[in-house]
Amino acid sequence: MKCRLLRAMERGCKTAEEERAFRTSGQFPVVAAGTVIDDPEAYQLVRMGIAEAADAECEAIHGMTPETAAAARKAYERVERGIHPTDYAAYDAGEMIGYDQEGNPIPGPNYLPPEQEEAQEEENDTEAFSNWRGTAG
Amino acid sequence: MATTPCKGTILKTTISSLLTAVAQVISLDAGDIEGETYDADTLDNSSAGIPYKSTGRVEGGKVSGELFFDYALPSHSGYIGLIGKDGVASAISFPQAASPYNMAFTGAGFALGLAVALKEGVKGKFSIKVSGLPVFASGS
């Protein structure tokens, strides 16, 4: 069963030379994006959002739609960034993109400072109330 | 003092020959790496203390932890596929450290238990026996 990597991925060291290199650099050997993986579990990589099917056998078994595949790619990116499950919602909302060296969230494109967030909430509440009054009236 | 925040730490195991990140991990414990010793006390030891000496062997310990379990996640079903296998390349990465580092190890004895409690999400308690010695190396 074959799949094609959509992104570069690390693998474990297989030779003494690779292990020596890892000890020196801290970098695992890398398998390049586009590499075809031939493995009985290749469909798992497709389900993870790391790869796409590269033969009919894999295509038949992975069971992903374009939508679920896109969601899987996004979810893997989240896991690879080490996002803690308690912060998944904030990451998905674009409020954070990772953690700094103090363990604090790194603001994302949709981050609102606390004061602005409060003002935004108030604005939303007022709008909701007006809409409700409009409907009720 | 330099400290490494825990958030951002990633557990990786091998699925289909690649190191892949395990989703929804809540906590990790990579403990019990210990040099093996033997009791080297003798009858003529004048001290009350018991001396120990190293055998030169090291117990690699195990990596254990908790995650929010979901069988539909490939990294979780893939983990189940590792139970019964050995020689599995695995790692814990600390990319959020000021100087990022990795702990690479060979996994054997993969174990998983599920915990279901009324006021909690379903959790998986996992452990991986470290075969040989873990290797720590700096690098992202």
pLDDT digit string, tens, across residues B44-83? 999 999 999 999 999 999 999 999 999 999 999 999 999 9
pLDDT, residue A30, reads: 96
A137 pLDDT above the threshold of 60:
no
Residue A77 tokens, joined: 């990116």
* Average per-residue pLDDT for chain B: 94
Q: Say what percent of chain A tops pLDDT 70.
A: 98
Q: What is the mean pLDDT of residues A99-128?
A: 83
Q: What is the mean pLDDT of residues A94-123?
A: 85
Positions in chain B short of pLDDT 70: 140
Interface residues from chain A to B (CB-CB < 8 Å): 3, 9-13, 19, 22-28, 31, 37, 39, 41-42, 44-45, 47-48, 50, 72, 75-76, 79-85, 87, 98-103
Band of residue A114 on the pLDDT scale cut at 50, 70, 90: confident
ipTM above 0.90, yes or no: no
* Average per-residue pLDDT for chain A: 90
For residue B17, give the nearest of A60, A17, A100, A37 by alpha carbon: A37
Residue A87: partners with Cβ closer than 8 Å, 6 or more residues away? A96, A105, B7
